[in-house]
């Protein structure tokens, strides 16, 4: 926001230079980004009155003018300007003049006639195009008729001074105006603040003869609505002082009525809006929600389609304004307007912000209305605008007003404990100084012997608790005056949780085995459960449904990582990647109940996916390799009832007889659902169960002193007998002397009865304390055969 210092000086005594003021305001919390110098290098440019305009005898597009600059003889100037008339007072750059762009004016000959200077436009005086008044764009500056002749244009247009470019934070809308910044400046410099004196001296008539009613239908979106009527409107340019004030503040003058509303908005922070009374059906204004797909043509002549949650100001039939954002084209002030209604209202900030964003319409008014300003400024701003309209002769204020909503203010009480201030600020500030600081900010405060009791003024909507008052005290005391001290108190070293550390280790191990990590979204489409062939009553379909999804494909929280893994495999396969080994460690979400009323259970899972030149045993080796790194011994059992997996090539993973995962080949239907023509191997393991059973307290043993003995045994068993179960039974025959059991052959075919298979194991025996004898090994070997025969009806091959 631009704060012209000359304007602000009308409300506060400034006893320092601009740079020091900027630094002090920054130190007290009003961040000043820059000090902008408005002084323009203009030499020998004076005001003059056009006495005569004649056509140039030798040029169709030029005219010859005689200009009185309050000297002995008029000055002859030749120009091509189209917006000048005899009697106009204009700025004239005389021979020897220098303009801000460096141009030096000399006597010039135009088609045989001399010109002793040049009439000047705003552009030539260094003004930005966006700030130039409508009537002076692409033309000469036309000055007021009562402007003295021969005056230096720097004095007439006040081409001097400076402005502060201030960054106002969202919580301080009271500073988003000149008066608010003047209040801050007074508190910062310790000088006196003067609020503008507001009075309307010559009201005529009764507003009820012009306006029938103002109403609020939706008080949650509009808390106060205040209306005044002005008659005998005379549309024209605003006075030069007002135009220049607005230009210095970064706004372009439009017309006297519009300029007044903009002036008051910048001065007090309260946006206003003016309506042509004759354009209002039923001569009433209503603050209400828009109807579904209701339309309005805004002042930029664009048709807008409104949503039902948007607030409009409507007459008896249709919207006349998008509340707090932009006015309607049909009810705007025009050159023919004779009677107008001046609206001043307080709106719901959230509603204005959402409406402005959805419609793509942002303005100085919406930027203020979308912040919490309170409703007490509504009446003051309206009366100030009436005062200015009366002052500049733009209209006559009609007596009385109409209003709806809140019109009183019950000041909140906030208390401050002095000892608490010392704890938070780290410095002991006397209570007297605290009271002085708060009262300087117009926060009426007293001390009752134990605490400071403060009444919060209507314009400080940001102060709600004790810490807010302490901040006010601290910033006026000066944070730069508070000695820097090291932090005190106990500190803790931050560290990852055990499960996060486990995940890191698992990722390192998996990457070391040649797997690539993937990361996928936690929300998936419910249709993916069909793709992995989950039955209708599968627990996997008990998912958390997202109420506001990005789309159908992201409408549920996943209960398994397998669909995401299959989609990644599908994508890579379709793009020509012939083989891949992938893994993901991520969360699944299990609702505690349906419908979901509380936070669901979140579990961590490890998912491994492989395709290409790999088989079941590659996946088995990876799973066992990961578990062995955490000191976990596992067992497997065949799984035939999981429709996601192949019924004969899938194993359940058990730790201490507890199912912790599943791995195997994806079923033909699952592979077909993803459009794949090759085998896919998938594993999904509960990471939390790995953490529970993790045992990395490694024990080391000396290399064995005594030799081992190896015996092979081949038995014939039925096809359904699992080799893994046979291995476990062999080990249990004598765990002390049987060092290892390895399956090395499975044979079906000639000499083997159909429905049976030959399974061969290599058994390693060792005694750690002495050399084994053949007789001992033979006895154990025979016992193994007996156990296999008893358990599995195995016969020696």
396-417, pLDDT tens digit by residue?
A: 999 999 999 988 899 999 999 9
Which CB contacts under 8 angstroms, 24+ apart, belong to 432-437?
433/473, 433/477, 434/473, 437/187, 437/472, 437/473, 437/476, 437/477
Please tell me the predicted confidence (pLDDT) of residue 12: 95
Flag whether pLDDT at 696 surpasses 90.
Answer: no
Tokens for 534, please give them: 């989950």
Asked if pLDDT for residue 492 goes beyond 80, the answer is no
Under the banding of pLDDT at 50, 70 and 90, the label for residue 121 is very high
β-strand partners of 164: 3, 35
Q: Is 554 exposed, middle or buried (0-12, 13-18, 19+ CB in 10 A)?
A: middle
> Does residue 490 have a pLDDT over 80?
no
Beta carbons within 10 angstroms of residue 579's beta carbon: 12
Query: Are 469 and 454 a contacting pair, CB within 8 Å?
Result: yes
- What DSSP element (H or E) covers 620? helix 616-629
pLDDT tens digits, 209-263: 999 999 999 999 999 999 999 999 999 999 999 999 999 999 999 999 999 999 9
Q: How far apart are CA 18 and CA 272, in angstroms?
A: 31
Three-state secondary structure call for residue 41:
coil
Other C-beta atoms closer than 10 Å to the C-beta of 559 total 24
Q: Return the pLDDT at 183.
A: 94
Query: Percent of the chain at pLDDT above 70?
Result: 100
pLDDT, tens only, 321-370: 999 999 999 999 999 999 999 999 999 999 999 999 999 888 889 999 99
Residues 6+ apart with CB under 8 A from 88: 49, 50, 140, 142, 143
Say what the pLDDT of residue 209 is: 95
Q: Does the N-terminal peptide bond of residue 116 adopt cis geometry, omega within 30 degrees of 0?
A: no
Compute the CA torsion angle 773, 774, 780, 785 (nearest 10 deg).
170
Model confidence pLDDT, tens digit, residues 145-202: 999 999 999 999 999 899 999 999 888 999 999 999 999 999 999 999 999 999 999 9
d(CA 376, CA 269): 12
pLDDT band at residue 482 under the 50/70/90 scheme: confident
User: At residue 491, does pLDDT exceed 90?
Assistant: no
Strands (DSSP E) along 591-634, which ranges? 601-611
At residue 638, the pLDDT reads: 87
pLDDT score recorded for residue 41: 86
Q: What are phi and psi of 263, to 5 degrees?
A: -60, -45
Q: Copy the structure tokens of residue 400.
A: 């009385």
| Tokens standing for residue 167 | 């960054």
471 annotated ligand-binding residue: yes
Q: Set out the domains of the chain in order of their start, with CATH numbers.
A: 2-38+161-189 (3.30.56.10), 43-156 (2.40.50.140), 204-405 (3.50.40.10), 413-481 (3.30.56.10), 498-693 (3.30.930.10), 709-796 (3.30.70.380)
Provide φ and ψ at 32, rounded to 5°: -100, 115
- C-beta separation of 385 from 264 below 8 A: yes
Q: Compute the distance between CA of residue 782 and CA of residue 760 in angstroms, rounded to an integer.
A: 15
Strands of the sheet containing 89-98, edge to edge, are: 75-79, 63-68, 43-55, 89-98, 117-119
For β-strands 516-517 and 580-590, DSSP reports them as parallel
Give yes or no for a contact between 389 and 395, defined as CB atoms under 8 angstroms apart: yes
Counted residue by residue, the chain has a size of 797
Residue of 573 and 136 predicted with greater confidence: 573
Task: Give the mean pLDDT of 743-754.
Answer: 88
Contact (CB, 8 A) for 78 and 110? yes
Residues 6+ apart with CB under 8 A from 324: 271, 311, 345, 347, 351, 352, 355, 365, 366, 369, 370
Mean pLDDT computed over 5-23: 94
Cβ–Cβ < 8 Å for 359, 322 = yes
Task: Find out whether 462 is annotated in a ligand binding site.
Answer: yes
Please list the helix, strand and coil fractions of the chain in percent, rounded to the nearest 5, in that order: 30, 30, 40
Residue 540 C-beta-side C-alpha neighbours within 13 Å:
22
Q: Collapsing DSSP states into helix, strand and coil, what is residue 552?
A: helix
- The string of pLDDT tens digits covering residues 494-548 is 888 999 999 999 999 999 999 999 999 999 999 999 999 999 999 999 999 988 8
Residues 711, 589 contacting (CB under 8 angstroms):
no
Two structure tokens written together for 300: 């930029």
Phi, psi of 65 (to 5 degrees): -120, 150
State the first-to-last Cα distance of the chain, in angstroms, to the nearest integer: 95
DSSP 80-141: --SS--TT-EEEEEEEEEE-TTS-B---EEETTEEE-EEE--TGGGT--GGGS-GGGTTS--
pLDDT at 768 over 90: no
Contact call for residues 644 and 565 (beta carbons, < 8 A): no
User: Which residue, among 558, 551, 506, 498, has the nearest Cα to 529 in the 3D structure?
Assistant: 558
Q: What value does the mean pLDDT take over residues 720-744?
A: 88
With pLDDT > 90 as the criterion, what percentage of the chain qualifies? 76
Considering the chain, what is the average pLDDT of its residues?
92
Name the 3-class secondary structure at 475. Answer: helix
For residue 7, how far is the Cα from the chain centroid?
34
8 A C-beta contact, residue 322 and residue 306: yes
The predicted structure's pLDDT at residue 636:
85
24-41 confidence digits (pLDDT tens)? 999 998 999 999 998 888
Are 91 and 119 a contacting pair, CB within 8 Å?
Answer: yes
Please give the backbone phi and psi of residue 464, each rounded to the nearest 5 degrees, phi first. -130, -20
Quick one: pLDDT band at residue 488, thresholds 50, 70, 90? confident
Q: Are the beta carbons of 46 and 211 closer than 8 angstroms?
A: no
* Residues in Cβ contact with 685 at an 8 Å cutoff, skipping those fewer than 6 apart: 605, 606, 607, 608, 623, 653, 660, 661, 663
Query: What stretch of H or E contains 231?
Result: strand 222-231
Distances in Å between the Cα of 565 and the Cα atoms of 478, 585, 613, 644 are 58, 11, 18, 13
Q: What is the mean pLDDT of residues 609-619?
A: 94
CA angle 422, 426, 432 (to 5 degrees): 40
Q: Which pair of tokens denotes residue 306?
A: 């409104």
For strands 340-347 and 272-276, give the pairing.
antiparallel
For 331, residues 6+ apart whose C-beta sits below 8 A from its C-beta are 275, 276, 279, 280, 315, 320, 321
Give me the phi and psi of 378, to 5 degrees please: -55, -50
Classified as helix, coil or strand, 606 is strand
C-alpha distances (whole Å) from 22 to each of 9, 158, 168, 184, 297 are 14, 22, 14, 12, 43
Q: Which residues contact 227 (CB under 8 A, 6 or more apart)?
A: 207, 211, 214, 285, 341, 342, 343, 344, 382, 401, 402, 403
At what angle are helices 723-733 and 774-792 packed, to 10 degrees? Answer: 140
Question: What is the model's pLDDT at position 430?
Answer: 94
Which pLDDT score, from 0 to 100, does residue 373 have?
85
């Amino acid at each position: 926001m631009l704060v012209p210092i000359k304007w602000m000086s009308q409300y506060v005594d400034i006893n320092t230079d601009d740079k020091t003021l900027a630094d002090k305001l920054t130190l007290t919390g009003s961040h000043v980004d820059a000090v902008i110098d408005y002084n323009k290098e203009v030499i020998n440019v004076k005001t003059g009155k056009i006495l005569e305009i004649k056509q140039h005898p030798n040029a169709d597009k030029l005219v010859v003018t005689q200009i009185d600059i309050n000297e002995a003889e008029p000055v002859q100037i030749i120009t091509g300007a189209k917006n000048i008339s005899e009697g106009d007072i204009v700025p004239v750059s005389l021979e020897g003049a220098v303009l801000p762009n460096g141009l030096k004016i000399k006597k010039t000959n135009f088609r045989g006639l001399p010109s002793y200077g040049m009439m000047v436009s705003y552009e030539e005086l260094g003004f930005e195009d966006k700030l130039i008044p409508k009537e002076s764009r692409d033309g000469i500056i036309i000055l007021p008729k009562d402007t003295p002749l021969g005056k230096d244009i720097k004095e007439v247009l006040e081409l001097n001074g400076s402005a502060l470019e201030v960054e106002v934070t969202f919580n301080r809308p009271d500073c988003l105006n000149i008066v608010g910044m003047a209040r801050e400046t007074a508190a910062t410099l310790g000088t006196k603040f003067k609020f503008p004196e507001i009075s309307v001296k010559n009201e005529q008539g009764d507003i009820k003869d012009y306006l029938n009613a103002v109403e609020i239908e939706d008080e949650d979106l509009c808390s106060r609505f205040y209306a005044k009527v002005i008659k005998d409107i005379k549309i024209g340019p605003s006075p030069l002082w007002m135009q220049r004030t607005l230009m210095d503040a970064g706004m372009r003058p439009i017309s006297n009525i519009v300029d007044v509303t903009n002036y008051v908005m910048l001065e007090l922070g309260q946006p206003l809006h003016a309506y042509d009374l004759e354009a209002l059906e039923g001569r009433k204004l209503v603050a209400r929600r828009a109807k579904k797909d209701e339309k309005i043509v805004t002042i930029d002549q664009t048709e807008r389609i409104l949503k039902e949650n948007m607030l409009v100001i409507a007459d008896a039939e249709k919207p006349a304004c998008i509340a707090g954002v932009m006015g309607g084209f049909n009810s705007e002030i025009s050159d023919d307007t004779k009677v107008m209604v001046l609206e001043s209202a307080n709106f719901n900030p959230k509603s204005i912000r959402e409406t402005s964003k959805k419609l793509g319409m942002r303005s100085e008014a919406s930027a203020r209305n979308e912040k919490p300003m309170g409703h007490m400024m509504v009446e003051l701003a309206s009366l100030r605008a009436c005062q200015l309209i009366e002052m500049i002769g733009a209209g006559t204020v009609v007596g009385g007003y109409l209003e709806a909503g809140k019109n009183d203010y019950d000041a909140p009480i906030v208390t401050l404990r002095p000892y608490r201030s010392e704890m938070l600020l780290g410095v002991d500030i006397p209570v007297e100084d605290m009271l002085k600081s708060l009262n300087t900010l117009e926060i009426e405060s007293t001390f009752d012997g134990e605490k400071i009791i403060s009444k919060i003024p209507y314009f400080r909507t940001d102060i709600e608790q004790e810490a807010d008052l302490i901040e006010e005290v601290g910033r006026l005391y000066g944070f730069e005056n508070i000695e820097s001290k090291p932090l005190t108190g106990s500190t803790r070293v931050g560290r990852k949780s055990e499960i996060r550390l486990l995940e890191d280790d698992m990722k390192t191990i998996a990457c070391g085995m040649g797997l690539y990590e993937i990361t996928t979204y936690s929300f998936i489409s419910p249709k993916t459960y069909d793709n992995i062939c989950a039955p209708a009553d599968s627990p996997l379909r008990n998912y958390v449904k997202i109420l506001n999804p990005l789309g159908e494909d992201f409408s549920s929280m996943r209960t398994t990582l397998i669909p995401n893994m299959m989609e990644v495999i599908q994508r890579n396969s379709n793009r020509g990647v012939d083989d891949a080994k992938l893994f993901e460690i991520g969360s699944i979400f299990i609702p505690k109940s349906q419908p979901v009323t509380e936070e669901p259970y979140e579990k961590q899972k490890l998912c491994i996916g492989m395709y290409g030149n790999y088989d079941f045993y590659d996946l088995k080796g990876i799973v066992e390799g990961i578990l062995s790194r955490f000191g976990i011994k596992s067992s497997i059992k065949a799984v035939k009832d999981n429709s996601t997996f192949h019924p004969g090539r899938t194993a359940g993973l058990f730790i201490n007889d507890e199912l912790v995962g599943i791995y195997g080949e994806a079923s033909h239907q699952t592979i077909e659902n993803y459009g794949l023509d090759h085998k896919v191997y998938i594993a999904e393991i509960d990471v939390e169960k790995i953490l529970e059973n993790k045992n990395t307290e490694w024990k080391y043993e000396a290399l064995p002193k005594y030799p081992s003995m190896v015996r092979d045994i081949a038995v014939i068993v039925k096809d359904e007998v699992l080799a893994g179960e046979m291995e476990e039974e062999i080990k249990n025959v004598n765990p002390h002397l049987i060092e290892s059991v390895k399956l090395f052959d499975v044979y079906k075919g000639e000499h083997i009865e159909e429905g049976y298979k030959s399974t061969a194991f290599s058994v390693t025996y060792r005694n750690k304390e002495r050399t084994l004898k053949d007789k001992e090994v033979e006895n154990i070997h025979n016992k193994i055969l007996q156990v296999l025969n008893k358990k599995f009806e195995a016969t020696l091959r």
